[in-house]
Amino acid sequence: MRPWLDGPRTLERLNTLAAGLKTESGKPLRFVPPGVRDAYYEVKVFETGEVETRPDSAHDWLNALAWLAFPRTKARINALHARELPKDPKGRRGPLRDLLTIFDEGGAIVVCQNEELLALLRSAAWKALFWENRDRVPKEMKVVVFGHAVQEQALEPRPGITCKAIVLAGDDLDTGAAQWLADAPPGASPKMLLPVPIFGYPGWSEGQDAAFYEDKRYFRP
C-alpha cells in the first residue's frame, strides 16, 4: 500500500488504480460516494461492484487501499458475506461472517515457515517469541497487516493493538489468503484466527525491553 499513500485522496484516483479489478460476481470495482447504507452493504457491493468511500475518512481510504493491495482476498470476503447473509438470522451474523468481519477489519497474515517460531505464536508465548527471539523474528516471521481498522489504529499507536491472523508460507499473499478463506470449513468461526499483539513485534513500538513483555494486560497467555 505504501506507493498509494502519497498523492491526492480522490475517488477518481482510486478508480484509476482499480482499473481491471472485479468482484467475484464479475462487476468492475468502483469507489463511489456514500449513499443510503442498509444491512445488505456487502450484497450491494457484490451485485454492483460499488464500494461506498469517503475520501476524507482514514477508515474508508484504508479500506479502499486494501481492495487495491488484496483484490482477490477482499472480493472473496465480499462474496462469502453475500452468500452467507441470507442464511443468517435477521440482524445477526453467523460464525463464518464473524470470522470474515474480524479478518477484514483487524486481520493480518503471518508469513513464516519456521515451525519453532510458529509454535511460540500458537501457544501465545509472547516473551519467548518477541523478546528472546527478537533477532530471528524480523528475518523469519513477517506480519503483513491486512485489516483496515488496525491500520487506522496504527496511525496513533497504542499498547494493546492486536490483529487476528492466518498463517501462510508462500509469497503470493493475496491468492493464498483468498484460498484460505475459500477452504474454511462450514463451521468456521473466529477461533480459527490467531491473536497477534502486533505492537509487540520487534521494532514496531518503543520501549520493548524484557519487562515490556511481562504486561499481562496486553500479552495474555
| Residues 208, 113 within the same domain | yes
Q: Which cell numbers hold the place of 70? A: 488484496
pLDDT tens, residue by residue, 74-113: 999 999 999 988 887 776 888 999 999 999 999 999 999 9
pTM: 0.93
Q: How far is CA 84 from CA 32, 37, 89, 100, in A?
A: 25, 19, 10, 11
Query: Do the domain assignments include residue 219?
Result: no
Range of the domain at 11: 2-92
Instruction: Report the pLDDT averaged over residues 2-20.
Output: 86
pLDDT tens, residue by residue, 28-44: 999 999 986 665 889 99
Cβ neighbour number for residue 181 with a 10 Å cutoff: 20
| Residues 122, 68 within the same domain | no
| Residues 117, 174 within the same domain | yes
Query: Do the domain assignments include residue 221?
Result: no
